[in-house]
Structure 1
């Protein structure tokens, strides 16, 4: 190759990503793994995803968080998900019935409800009781796991709730409380833990009557099922379980 062509090629390499000028001209392949997970898993799955990327060079874990019912709809409509983690078994059943996931989903964590209030509980709220009279309460909409659990719990306790709004994800409920738009919100224990002091938790007597079980599975449409199963294994193995336990999730 003439010297002037070599100089031009060298100059071009300075303008391109380093992988494009690797020996032999081969680019390092990168793989994106799309994980759809319930909103209440945002903190823990972000940590697990980083650990997974570190142990799987060349892999990027793209996380999508939302209400479980919304995620099922998105997957059904063709969203490119490789893994689905639900906040309840009801929405996972919708996925299995619709043949949206493969194999038998595995339960990897549990969670219970609590009342999120302003830091220090200045209104002295005591639970799903008369202390909420005249207060702005926010809950999750029915169909969303935390909404289904709230309905089940309030029925079990004989409590009549009068929320000012019903949200499509538990993080939206918590956001209403931390922003001061609501006096209280029914969320998971783990959500208050992740609020980093922006909210306090008021235990709900009898919360164990509505325990949510979180299942996870590889989607039927995944084009990288083996890698997806490895992520599922990372969630259910001891290191992943420790991340979940540290965040306040219960053992499956």
Structure 2
């Protein structure tokens, strides 16, 4: 798993564009590259468009992956300007490479099932049933750690048919019918409405995921990166995050 993640991180790092300033048609354009957790894919595409509209001349490019893959890219010096992870642990482990982080949103977990829940999953306990194909995020992934935490708290032993490199990969397995159920973020399930059904995990059994954002010290466009990270805590950004199902920080 570690070798696979490293190769993925290296490939992604080589593909990332350099943050730079260029001139197009006489106008100066500033480009910032943001490494962001996979669970932010849909909402950050909207946020990027909103930010560019508010800040003419600034282009925001995203690279989405599991937080552990993003961390590997940062450690290897990937050309990027800002980082947003799905947990504080990953960000804290990178404090030598980042500015001061700020939590921009929170999330919770839910159980995703095939449409109409054909296996009649009712809660976490059912995930330990023999014959049920369950898929989870890998332990290195924040969603995987959160999932393990809540299953351990309920003293449940779940043997997944696969452990995926991101929460979006878990969702994909369920939506494609390759698994009967999986644990994903509420926001991922919301984005896949119609492709999966959900089973609510009570707050008392759930875990809260925090999303910190920070600039990267090796940024080639520090001011633009700082402005974007600051904007992620603005009223407009929080409105977009809330509409996608994220909770306030």
TM bracket, shorter-chain basis = 0.7 to 0.9
Match of residue 150 from structure 1: 147
Report deviation, 1:59.
Answer: 1.6
User: Following the alignment from structure 1 to structure 2, what is the Cα–Cα distance between the partners of residues 81 and 161?
Assistant: 37
User: Following the alignment from structure 1 to structure 2, what is the Cα–Cα distance between the partners of residues 216 and 78?
Assistant: 18
| CA shift in 2, pair 1:208/1:34, >3 Å | farther
User: Following the alignment from structure 1 to structure 2, what is the Cα–Cα distance between the partners of residues 239 and 151?
Assistant: 34
- Provide the aligned length of Structure 1 versus Structure 2: 226
Gaps of 5+ in 1: 1-18
Match of 1:247 among 209, 229, 244: 244
Local SS of the residue matching 2:124: coil
Report deviation, 1:28.
Answer: 2.2
Match of residue 123 from structure 2: 127
Report deviation, 1:133.
Answer: 2.8
Match of residue 65 from structure 2: 66
8 A Cα contact 2:86 2:210, kept in partner: yes
User: Following the alignment from structure 2 to structure 1, what is the Cα–Cα distance between the partners of residues 162 and 203?
Assistant: 23
Gaps of 5+ in 2: 1-22
Deviations 1:72-115 (A, max 9, x none): 1001111111110000011001111xx1101x210111111111
1:228 aligns with 2:225: yes
* RMSD (Å) for aligned C-alpha atoms: 1.5
Match of residue 202 from structure 2: 205
Match of 2:103 among 101, 107, 125: 107
Deviations 1:146-167 (A, max 9, x none): 0010111111111111100000
User: Following the alignment from structure 1 to structure 2, what is the Cα–Cα distance between the partners of residues 82 and 208?
Assistant: 36
| Larger radius of gyration between Structure 1 and Structure 2 | 1
Deviations 1:92-146 (A, max 9, x none): 01111xx1101x2101111111110112212211122136431110000011100
Local SS of the residue matching 2:64: strand
Local SS of the residue matching 1:50: helix
Local SS of the residue matching 2:27: coil
8 A Cα contact 2:109 2:206, kept in partner: no
Local SS of the residue matching 1:124: coil
Runs of 4+ off more than 6 Å: none
Q: TM-score, structure 1 length as denominator? A: 0.86
